[in-house]
Structure 1
Amino acid sequence: MHDIIDRCSAEYETRRLQALDSYQILDTPEESAFDEIVEVVSIICEAPIAVINFIDRDRQWFKSEKGLGVRETPLDISICAHAILQPGLFIVPDTTRDPRFANNPLVTGEPHLRFYSGALLESRDGYPLGTLCVLDYQPRELAERQRFALQALANQVMAHMQLMQAHSEQAELIRELKATRQELTKLAATDPLTGLLNRRAFEQRYNQELALIQRGAPAAALMMIDLDHFKTVNDTLGHQAGDEVIVRFAELCREAFRQADVMGRWGGEEFVVMLPKASVAEAQHAAERLHRLLATTPMRDGSSSSLYISASIGICSMSSSSTMDESLHITDELLYQAKEQGRNRTVCETEGTSLQR
């Protein structure tokens, strides 16, 4: 496609710079792989100066250089800027005899360059990015074997850059895959509406905590929560309003419980909370915090009339002999007692009687 575009056009230059940018080579540190190529080409071509350079928008930047002592020069004095405008090796046997370079400050003054030969560094799609070049203080030519070596080593520069580009792209792909996997793992483990653990993930977390208790960790408490009269909210205000209430309730749970506590949406308006290293009494205090928050917090923002809800809660202990089915059965029975006693209360498992709010 770019072969039919004038190499001197703004469109071509834009595409060329985009190709250069895709390698992310500009302003990177010196690297031994490039330095060794420069050293080898200097030896083969018997040249005191050798450079791997790239032509940026307004400068010539050197990835590696021997004999110059600088990392970049202005573009308006660059010989390589001319080299990238034509295919093949670009050779200037005597710069003082070439009208393009006779008045160049690098020719008329220090370091008094007299000879230049550069091999193109081309992108995969053929855009010239810069050159591998050799320079001398005396007019001269290159032997055929030196020309071949210069072009072959330029090819090696691009092969190494393409390998670096592939590694960079692979690393980015791996990062994206990891991020996607983490997101998928999170989605698979959370309730999409509230962001709390879903039933399956909560069961896994329960079993992990139970294993810790069986190995000697302190007992935990399990809490089941049901929003009172939630069906009325859906029936009178609609399911969107019901979803808003569910989301707001989940936010209040995050305020009421510790960061270490494990919260899950069990289904519909029913929630479960596991409180590691907590007694039933401590769990009851957390339940009281939740009751107070519900009593003082409107459940919908921007509605014309404030909507408050209450919750019924059952709490039991988790010991080394507990199973999830047994714990859920007990908390469900305690929750049922809370509803039977008038709702908006907590009923806790005790050694002979139930505590109620």
Structure 2
Amino acid sequence: MMNSVSNYHSDTDEEQRLAALVAYDILDTPPEDAFDDITQIAALICDAPVAVINFIDRDRQWFKSVLGLNVRETPLDISICVHALFQPDLFVVPDTALDPRFMDNPLVNGDPQLRFYAGALLVSEDGHPLGTLCVLDHHPRDLNEKQRFALRALANQVMAHLELLRAHKKQAALIQELQSAQADLLQLASTDPLSGLLNRRAFEQYLNQELALIKADTSHASLVMIDLDHFKRINDNLGHDTGDWVIQRFAQLCRGVFRKSDVISRWGGEEFVVLMPNTPEVDALQAVDRLHQRLISEPIVYAEHQAVFITVSVGICSLTSTSELQECLRTADRLLYMAKDNGRSCTVCESSQAK
């Protein structure tokens, strides 16, 4: 005997019912104590050896909680619960062996010989039957009024817990969405829109943090300030679009030359600044030398069918346990302008000026 939900109502109703079931995201989830407690209570109150919380899927009935049986799902063609879906009230079968709908069912005339069935509907908020909380016995019998009331009440508790789980999932999804939006806003607030590098404000926060670490563990770092030489000529001769392109390509070049642990920022206009943690000045100079060599060996962009080369002027200072934010920024800026005064396309280090 084949039991199909479509035997009882239209295909459209069935699709809506299945959509309502899917919305709870309960199918194939692991056992949970809250549901197992309800089946235990149902079995105790109804004095039944078998109790099940099941949901009727498209081609199976799946057990969220089961007591007294060793299965988690069965095909619909042997399901008793599918008949309960469209009953107006509690569905009770005192003796399944005498009911023509079930007398040929292998669960009735074979193992585990389920001779008694009582199922209370699990109904969604919008009125769709999703499954049942049912109790079964191996002998014909009935439920008294108190047991019937308790079974209905426990079914309501199943649905209340499902609604609570769904509300928690929606809340978690909303929190995740808000956190993602906050991260996006933070990213926008800390990023220079043209270069994609950190902006000045965000860089100062990183620099403050690094100075605090240096004071705590007496480590060291280097601060590198870079200026694109004669950048105004690019804007004047090739246009501001090309100038913007140069800024973007230079940012990409810096990402390739400096380490992932280094913090790179567009300081403003054509100026850039790089924080190099745990890096002595001599190592910072080697990285800047690589930058100079890259700029000499390859054009930064091609514009109007011509290769555009640029050079940079650079100042490098050391960060120590006595360094202060504004002081080290002023020092790096002063060294940068010394490099520009020296003819540009060169680097001036703090240590070279101390001698």
TM-score (structure 2 length as normaliser): 0.88
Structure 1 position 218, deviation (Å) = 3.1
Aligned to 1:69: 70
Unaligned runs of 5+ residues in structure 2 are 1-6
- Does the CA-based 8 Å contact 2:53-2:132 persist in structure 1? yes
SS, match of residue 172 in structure 1: helix
Alignment of 1:91-130 (within 5 A): 91-130=92-131
Q: Which amino acid counterpart does residue 344 of structure 2 have in structure 1?
A: R
Structure 1 position 290, deviation (Å) = 0.7
Compared CA separation, residues 275 and 67, structure 1 to 2 (3 A): closer
Q: Which amino acid counterpart does residue 209 of structure 1 have in structure 2?
A: E
User: Which ranges of 4 or more aligned residues in structure 1 deviate by more than 4 Å?
Assistant: 301-304, 351-354
Aligned to 2:90: 89
* Aligned equivalents of 1:273, 1:72: Cα separation in 2: 61
Aligned to 1:45: 46
Compared CA separation, residues 116 and 216, structure 1 to 2 (3 A): closer
Moved more, 48-57 or 328-337: 328-337
Q: Which amino acid counterpart does residue 350 of structure 2 have in structure 1?
A: E
1:70-126 deviation line (CA, Å, top 9, x unaligned): 111101111111211233212223323433323322233333333221111112222
Percent identical among aligned pairs is 60
* Aligned equivalents of 1:296, 1:351: Cα separation in 2: 27
Alignment of 1:220-231 (within 5 A): 220-231=221-232
Aligned to 2:281: 280
* Aligned equivalents of 1:159, 1:117: Cα separation in 2: 20
* Aligned equivalents of 2:272, 2:333: Cα separation in 1: 11
* Aligned equivalents of 1:151, 1:303: Cα separation in 2: 80
Compared CA separation, residues 94 and 254, structure 1 to 2 (3 A): same
Compared CA separation, residues 119 and 345, structure 1 to 2 (3 A): same
1:215-243 deviation line (CA, Å, top 9, x unaligned): 45233322211112223333344433333
* Aligned equivalents of 1:242, 1:76: Cα separation in 2: 73
- Does the CA-based 8 Å contact 1:77-1:104 persist in structure 2? yes
* Aligned equivalents of 2:165, 2:8: Cα separation in 1: 27
Q: Which amino acid counterpart does residue 123 of structure 1 have in structure 2?
A: S
Aligned to 2:317: 316
Unaligned runs of 5+ residues in structure 1 are 1-5
Compared CA separation, residues 116 and 302, structure 1 to 2 (3 A): farther
1:255-298 deviation line (CA, Å, top 9, x unaligned): 22233322111112110112233333322211111111222333
Q: Which amino acid counterpart does residue 78 of structure 1 have in structure 2?
A: S
Structure 1 position 191, deviation (Å) = 1.8
* Aligned equivalents of 2:320, 2:44: Cα separation in 1: 78
- Does the CA-based 8 Å contact 2:114-2:137 persist in structure 1? yes
- Does the CA-based 8 Å contact 1:87-1:120 persist in structure 2? no
* Aligned equivalents of 2:93, 2:211: Cα separation in 1: 80
SS, match of residue 194 in structure 2: coil
Q: CA RMSD in A?
A: 2.5
Aligned to 2:307: 306
Q: Which amino acid counterpart does residue 26 of structure 1 have in structure 2?
A: L
1:135-189 deviation line (CA, Å, top 9, x unaligned): 2233333211111011001111111222222223333333333333333333322
* Aligned equivalents of 2:8, 2:241: Cα separation in 1: 60
Q: Which amino acid counterpart does residue 218 of structure 2 have in structure 1?
A: A
Structure 1 position 318, deviation (Å) = 2.8
Aligned to 1:173: 174
Q: Which amino acid counterpart does residue 198 of structure 1 have in structure 2?
A: N
Structure 1 position 304, deviation (Å) = 4.2
Aligned to 1:199: 200
Structure 1 position 23, deviation (Å) = 2.1
Moved more, 343-352 or 221-230: 343-352
Moved more, 299-308 or 254-263: 299-308
Compared CA separation, residues 82 and 166, structure 1 to 2 (3 A): same
Q: Which amino acid counterpart does residue 154 of structure 1 have in structure 2?
A: A
- Does the CA-based 8 Å contact 1:7-1:13 persist in structure 2? no
Q: Which amino acid counterpart does residue 325 of structure 1 have in structure 2?
A: Q
* Aligned equivalents of 1:214, 1:116: Cα separation in 2: 75
- Does the CA-based 8 Å contact 2:218-2:321 persist in structure 1? no
Q: Which amino acid counterpart does residue 48 of structure 1 have in structure 2?
A: P
Aligned to 2:4: none
1:151 partnered with 2:182: no
SS, match of residue 197 in structure 2: coil
Moved more, 102-111 or 120-129: 102-111
Q: Which amino acid counterpart does residue 142 of structure 1 have in structure 2?
A: L
* Aligned equivalents of 1:92, 1:304: Cα separation in 2: 88
Aligned to 1:139: 140
1:311-332 deviation line (CA, Å, top 9, x unaligned): 1112223334433333333332
Aligned to 1:3: none
Compared CA separation, residues 250 and 39, structure 1 to 2 (3 A): same
Q: Which amino acid counterpart does residue 31 of structure 2 have in structure 1?
A: E
1:259 partnered with 2:260: yes
